[in-house]
Structure 1
Amino acid sequence: MGKPTGFMDYERETAKAVSPKERIKNFNEFHTPLSKEEQQKQGARCMNCGVPFCQSGEMISGMASGCPLHNLVPEWNDLVYSGNWEQAYNRLKKTNNFPEFTSRVCPALCEAACTCGHWGDSVSVKENEHGIIENAYEQGYAAAKPPKVRTGKRVAVVGSGPAGLAAADQLNKRGHQVTVFERDDRVGGLLMYGIPNMKLQKEVIDRKINVMKEEGIEFVTGANVGKEVKPAKLLKEYDRVILACGAKNPRDINAPGRDAKGIYFAVDFLSATTKSLLDSGLKDNKYISAKGKKVVIIGGGDTGNDCVGTCIRHGAASVTQLEMMPKAPDTRAEDNPWPEWPKVCKTDYGQEEAIAVFGQDPRIYTTTVKEFLKDKNGNLCGLKVVKLEGKKDEKTGRMQMVEVPGSESKMDADLVLIAAGFLGTQKYVADAFGVELNQRTNVATEAGKYATSVPNVYTAGDMHRGQSLVVWAIREGREVAREVDESLMGYSYLSVQ
């Protein structure tokens, strides 16, 4: 364990963020990491609890409590405290293929379940993870380690998001020859074009991809499997195929006036900005600009928040975020006890920036769009919105958000971004391979398995479980790799936790 009195001797510390008004001047990551000495003090706060909820990854009340990857959190916290950074890296990598990604974008399920957090401030687990992996790159511990023996088996992975990359990494370590097919022009999938640069700078992705290339993984970009690249070709040339194409069907808002010019899906808005930023520093103007616009974002989740931060960096005249649900409490409710995930109000970086720039929180709760208003040229000029309230459905007994009679109002808007979540896999890929879908339009498999209805074709990640977190995608990538390895070799020693 760490220092026996560490949780009493040291206060929780995290990387300091650049002030909102300063950081919106660019699209760079904006946290200054702790020094090694400060990081070791944070490692000292971990008590190696008898029941380490931080690494449990158990489902409680339908929510994950602790890390789904079962990261050996107390072990590497102690190793950080004692200054054994190389061994800390080895223990971290035992369960997590990509700590350089999760230490930046994961919501830290581990910290929410930390025992210290039950009584005070949790251990800064995510911070320690970041320190371990960045030190590993600096010291050369994270350098390429190609497998010494090859099995002669070939595996195609379709999709280079976190699930596909994790599967490829595991199978390559086993000695199989792996090729990853990506339809975009850059590798990374969700990580590259779904997450803004200020949360995950793309150099971080490229750094890891270069290591994976040195280890023998082949990457093919601009390969749209299911259209230009035919499934029959992959099934003929490879022993197994893994579909890890994500869940990119955005949920739409079917209200009158939806055909107005100026309404976009959030994923298209964010992707276009990142691509233009990487291609030209936004100089090519090949993106959906929010500059000078009155922006309304429909959706209060992480994607909506990313849109807020991106619009502010564009120079939006105003930003409003509509959320159907009521505001969550500021502290845990009695029916949401530790170690459940805390269902509390979170003010994220984009909202912080909106408060700094516009003087108020951009979120309007219990509100939805009833109609998109157009001018005579068909351009979006405003919204008709309505307030909502929770009522119990008499037939099902479930709470539903319903309109409040007489609560309609109008608001100005000339750019709307729909960030209302995703509905499942894009059908053309599933149709091309002939795999069955379930009622949620995800690729169907047996419970706890990854083999599809088509022989030698497997699936993982959001395409399999629906829209979820990066950490869950990595876990699924690891698990599908083990199942594929067993099918190829008759046994597997690949670890899934």
Structure 2
Amino acid sequence: MEDPVGFMRYRRHEAGKQHARARVRHWHEYEQIMPLDHATIQSRRCMDCGTPHCHAYCPVHNLIPDWNSLVSEDDWHAAWQQLESTNNFPEFTGRVCAAPCEDACTLSIRSRAVTIRSIELAVVEQAWQSGWIRPQPASRKLFRRVAVIGSGPAGLACAQQLVRAGYRVTVYEKANRAGGLLRYGIPDFRLEKPVLERRLAQLHAEGVRFRTGIHVGQDLEFEALHRNSHAVVLACGSEQPRPLDVPGCSLGGIHFAMDYLVQQNRRMAGDYVSHELELDAGGKQVVVIGGGDTGSDCVGTAIRQDARQVMQVQYHDRPPDHVDNLCYWPGPVPEWHANDHDDEGCRHVWAYDTVAFTRHSALVDQVDGLTLQKLRWVKG
């Protein structure tokens, strides 16, 4: 490590964000990429632990202390090579990952974790800017065909690994554009689509074929695809919503999160959305049931559509302001931290369960309110 006591010398400083009053007026990304000199300083806070829990808790097992060390020495090219060895798309994870690695950071036991996600994003964006990310076509082609069904992050990563190994890869996507969840599920204010397009261009150049607008099982029989391929990869994603089976759940004005987010992303792409099917929160009072990342994306979308009021209902208690980290580390610590959409005006309702949806009149098939039940959580 460049500075073995950097974790004592330097404080955590996160990447900058545009002010809430300004960012709600547009759909662009509002979190800034950390400047290189700031990322270098922040990387020196890494303790280079003997047992790096950040590595174990990273979903793709990034070698985080290794590239932190290289960034601390300003060796950005080597840091990129190290990052690329475990992660096909750091520009996506660096923007949208929940960063469980930071919860597992040893420094977080008694201080604040290393800004791992921001450093990761700084590394990959420096790699793009420097021209280090180029197509890597296979040196030898194999006469074996692989069909990948689904062009979300899993399908794209699988396709890239296979085509680089020499396989002839075709990705089938039922939508009219490739990208899956990256394109249609994540709002532009978290992941702008040119970030996706430049990576798709690399996959094209490496030899991946994309067939969009083809729903396997409807437009193309699976058996026929299977017969004409040496292997088929199912990377279809999980689009089946979990219904809230309570009285009034079929009333108009109640929508599943992915229907709402997908339509807004299609609108941003310039696709036609009929007025009859339009989901627009403008001028409305909006209630989002669920406090996870998808719920937060719905909150941010509704706010940017100029909703009159946005409220988020969550079934668990409001987390305490302070807890003993050692009781939970290296897992997530249930402490209250305001998120970005709180700054934008979202209100929270804690420890309530939705038991019914109501309407103003039996003659009107439109939701007008909801009935909540207070929950009391006790330790078993």
Q: Which TM-score band applies after superposition, normalised by the shorter structure?
A: over 0.9
| Secondary structure of residue in 2 paired with 1:264 | coil
Q: What is residue 139 of structure 1 aligned with on the other side?
A: 130
Distance 1:283 1:336, change over 3 A: farther
Q: What is residue 462 of structure 1 aligned with on the other side?
A: none
Q: What is residue 90 of structure 2 aligned with on the other side?
A: 99
Q: Which one of the candidate residues 108, 119, 140 is aligned to 2:110?
A: 119
Q: What is residue 355 of structure 2 aligned with on the other side?
A: 370
Q: What is residue 369 of structure 2 aligned with on the other side?
A: 382
Q: What is residue 218 of structure 1 aligned with on the other side?
A: 209
Residue 150 (structure 1) aligned with residue 148 (structure 2): no
Unaligned 5+ residue runs, structure 1?
A: 57-65, 356-361, 393-398, 400-497
Contact 2:325 2:333 in 1 (8 A): no
Q: Distance in 2 between matches of 1:334 and 1:133?
A: 31
Q: Which one of the candidate residues 247, 270, 281 is aligned to 1:256?
A: 247
Summarize deviations over 1:385-440 as a string: whole Å, max 9, x none.
22122368xxxxxx6xxxxxxxxxxxxxxxxxxxxxxxxxxxxxxxxxxxxxxxxx
Q: Distance in 1 between matches of 2:99 and 2:325?
A: 22
Distance 1:391 1:329, change over 3 A: closer
Q: Distance in 2 between matches of 1:382 and 1:205?
A: 39
**Amino acid paired to 2:374:** K
Q: Distance in 1 between matches of 2:9 and 2:280?
A: 49
Q: What is residue 5 of structure 2 aligned with on the other side?
A: 5
Unaligned 5+ residue runs, structure 2?
A: none
Q: Distance in 2 between matches of 1:334 and 1:198?
A: 31
- Superposed CA RMSD in Å reads 1.9
Contact 1:273 1:287 in 2 (8 A): no
Summarize deviations over 1:439-477 as a string: whole Å, max 9, x none.
xxxxxxxxxxxxxxxxxxxxxxxxxxxxxxxxxxxxxxx
Q: Distance in 1 between matches of 2:271 and 2:203?
A: 26
Q: Which runs of structure 2 are paired with 1:284-323 in the superposition (5 Å)?
A: 287-323=278-314
Task: Report deviation, 1:338.
Answer: 1.7
* Sequence identity percentage: 38
Q: Distance in 1 between matches of 2:75 and 2:325?
A: 41
Q: TM-score, normalised by structure 2?
A: 0.95
Q: Which one of the candidate residues 55, 63, 72 is aligned to 1:81?
A: 72
Q: What is residue 90 of structure 1 aligned with on the other side?
A: 81
**Amino acid paired to 2:257:** A
Q: What is residue 464 of structure 1 aligned with on the other side?
A: none
Summarize deviations over 1:166-207 as a string: whole Å, max 9, x none.
111111111111111111112111111111111111111111
Task: Report deviation, 1:163.
Answer: 1.2
Q: Distance in 1 between matches of 2:276 and 2:3?
A: 54
| Secondary structure of residue in 2 paired with 1:156 | strand
Distance 1:125 1:258, change over 3 A: same
Contact 1:300 1:363 in 2 (8 A): no
Q: What is residue 264 of structure 2 aligned with on the other side?
A: 273
Q: What is residue 55 of structure 1 aligned with on the other side?
A: 55
| Secondary structure of residue in 1 paired with 2:327 | coil
Q: Distance in 2 between matches of 1:334 and 1:15?
A: 24
Contact 1:305 1:351 in 2 (8 A): no
Q: What is residue 410 of structure 1 aligned with on the other side?
A: none
Task: Report deviation, 1:77.
Answer: 0.8
Task: Report deviation, 1:343.
Answer: 2.6
Q: Distance in 1 between matches of 2:257 and 2:73?
A: 44
Q: What is residue 44 of structure 2 aligned with on the other side?
A: 44
Q: TM-score, normalised by structure 1?
A: 0.73
Instruction: Report the count of equivalent residues.
Output: 378
Q: Distance in 2 between matches of 1:284 and 1:85?
A: 49
Contact 1:160 1:180 in 2 (8 A): yes
